[in-house]
Amino acid sequence: MCGIAGLVDPSIPAQIREEAVQRMCSAMIHRGPDDLGIASSGPATIGMRRLAIFDPANGHQPMATPDGRHTLVFNGAIYNFRSLQGELESAGWAFRTRCDTEVLLAALAQWGEGALGRLRGMFAFALWDSADESLFAARDPFGIKPLYFSLEGGRLVFASEVAALLAAGTRAEIDPVSVADYLAWFAVPAPRTIYRGILSLQPGECLRYRRGRLDIRPAWTFRSIPDDPAPCASQEEFVRGLRARLDDAIRAHMLADVPVGAFLSGGLDSAVVAGLMSRATGSPLKTFSIGFPERSFSEAAEAEASARHFGAVHHTRILTGGEVARDLDKFIAACDQPTGDGVNTYYVSQTAREGGVKVALSGLGGDELFGGYPSFRALPALSRRLPLWRRIPGPLRSLLTGCLGIGGTRARKLSDFLRNARDPHELAALQRRVFSEGRRRSMLAPDVAAQIEGSPPFHPRLEAMRADVGADDMFSLVSAWEMRTYMADVLLRDSDVMSMRHSLELRVPFIDRPLVEWIWRQPARFRDDRRRPKSALLEAASDILPPGLARRRKRGFTLPFPVWMRKELRPFLEDTFAPASIGQSGLFSAGPIQELWKGFASGGEDREWSRLWSLAVLIAFVNLKRAELPSQASSAG
């Protein structure tokens, strides 16, 4: 695990490139406080900051093949590196470390792009080929680890964080269209970022850059999952197979030469991870959770009960609104891009690192795979009724959606569904909307709103998802959409940024390629029990779970933001939503934003908290970055 960076430009001397890459690495020291390395070859300079997990005494990067042709920088963890090492040794490779980086380097030199299909893990890497003078880079299938890049003329710059690109002097200005995208989706969907000209490699993609030409293509898709072996024939066989593969995924993700712990909430997913980890280890597991003085929000008691059942050494961090208010400057500064999420991961990661672990496992991904979100029930129901709705005369449909559009949060969302969606994919492409289309446009400055005039209200991945995922299986369709949008652009991105801010490697065993591919080959009915969501996962781990956990009502992990925003966080919000703050960037329209804030602050619908919080973070982030980049032109023009 580390932060990687690089610059390819034949017009710049090596010394100048190395100074730029040094600045990039310095901007990511939190990602890798254990080691620094920079290497130049031809027109390329690549570098890294290392968080040493495997073979800490060795594994220095950049790492080169014995012949010097290939040089690698790598962020992530390859869990099957030992088995790959055996294959490569049979092919004649000799290894001097016990590190996954050296195995990845040999695999890429031996098999080229074909190595990607053999990798089990989370990764973003860049490989320089001095003979071909080309750079090959790739990102894992689900986007657990990030990779950003900018191409200006013949200059390619890449890094694990957007902030590192800025440190290299990459031309940057806030992109008004990305601001509009953020208001729709809680984050800027890849491949865009909040900055014009800085892009994200998307999950499962690889790129090749050679002599000014950049080629990007998908290396993994849902359609690429092989059909064999044959799917399970019964629910019982599926549950047995699922348990075996969960055990295998946990064992793989626990591999490390440093202490490993787990995040533990009061819910099912983290309990399954912690329980299987406890079975797999010979010593008490360290677990970490966040609790709150506001008991109606806190799952601290449930997490502690689970920890006692597993015999874990548990650490609960009681987080207050006052503490969050005092840390807001640190949190905003830690955001590589604005986000409506991430506060919980920021603090639990800090707690885990201070608690003595360098690696932590999380239950992230369980809801996406096993149907834990309301979307798994709402979208199939809407999809069944959509043909009947579309047969209603247009004027009457417009009247009904107009009435819904002036209602509460849920009514406005239903209005957007009914007004715009014509098929299951379009329903899914609206599911994660934060602000309705009308409200989003009203909050943007007129010249910014004009830039998105005529753009469809759907998520930008709509056509890619149509091509990748069939519409005949609604459960799998919703699962794929949740994984490719909210999970990738919000949950995984924030988990990486916030955990690495505290030099903690966060692993997500549910998002394990062999496990996901096996599940994807099974009939959806084995996962799709609408009366008992996630029952398959519960049954697969029933022998290890605490008594009573199956009867706990799922409520999701939510911080007490509705309370804090009216109390401890109110001064920050009052300042952020003041006319001078809203108008500072020229991107927003103050009236509708202030109206929304005043309605909430005076006792409006609690459900609006996440929309307001995400909006406040966006405004604060944009104002901060524009102050740091005073030379940029007006981004609203």
Q: Could you report the average pLDDT of every consecutive run of 10 residues in the chain (637 residues)?
A: 93 96 97 96 97 93 97 97 97 96 98 97 98 97 98 94 95 94 95 96 98 96 91 96 98 96 94 96 93 90 94 96 96 94 95 97 97 94 93 91 83 88 96 90 96 93 96 95 97 97 98 97 90 92 88 69 96 97 96 95 88 96 84 37
The three-point CA angle 236-538-544 to 5° equals 100
- CB-based contact 42:130 (threshold 8 Å): yes
Task: Tell me whether strands 155-159 and 134-139 are parallel, antiparallel or unpaired.
Answer: unpaired
Q: Confirm whether 2-218 and 235-371+485-551 share one CATH topology.
A: no
Which pTM does this prediction carry? 0.95
- CB-based contact 344:290 (threshold 8 Å): yes
- Phi-psi group of 197: left, alpha or beta (phi > 0 → left; psi -120 to 50 → alpha; rest → beta): left
Please give the CATH topology (third level) of the domain spanning 235-371+485-551. Answer: Rossmann fold (3.40.50)
**What are the structural domain ranges in the chain?**
2-218, 235-371+485-551, 375-479, 565-628
Q: Which H or E element spans position 477?
A: helix 474-482
- Give the pLDDT score at 633: 37
What is the arrangement of strands in the sheet containing 313-318, beginning at the earlier edge strand? 313-318, 286-291, 260-263, 359-361, 505-507
Give, in order, the Cα–Cα distances in Å from 259 to each of 29, 54, 284, 357: 21, 11, 12, 5
- CB-based contact 161:148 (threshold 8 Å): yes
Buried b (16+ CB within 10 A) or exposed e, 313-349: ebbbbebebeebeebbeebbebbbbbbbbbbbbbbbb
- Give the pLDDT score at 554: 60
Superfamily of structural domain 2-218: Aminohydrolase, N-terminal nucleophile (Ntn) domain (3.60.20.10)
Burial of 612 (0-12, 13-18, 19+ CB in 10 A): buried
Give, in order, the Cα–Cα distances in Å from 602 to each of 87, 500, 568, 570, 574: 65, 37, 15, 12, 13
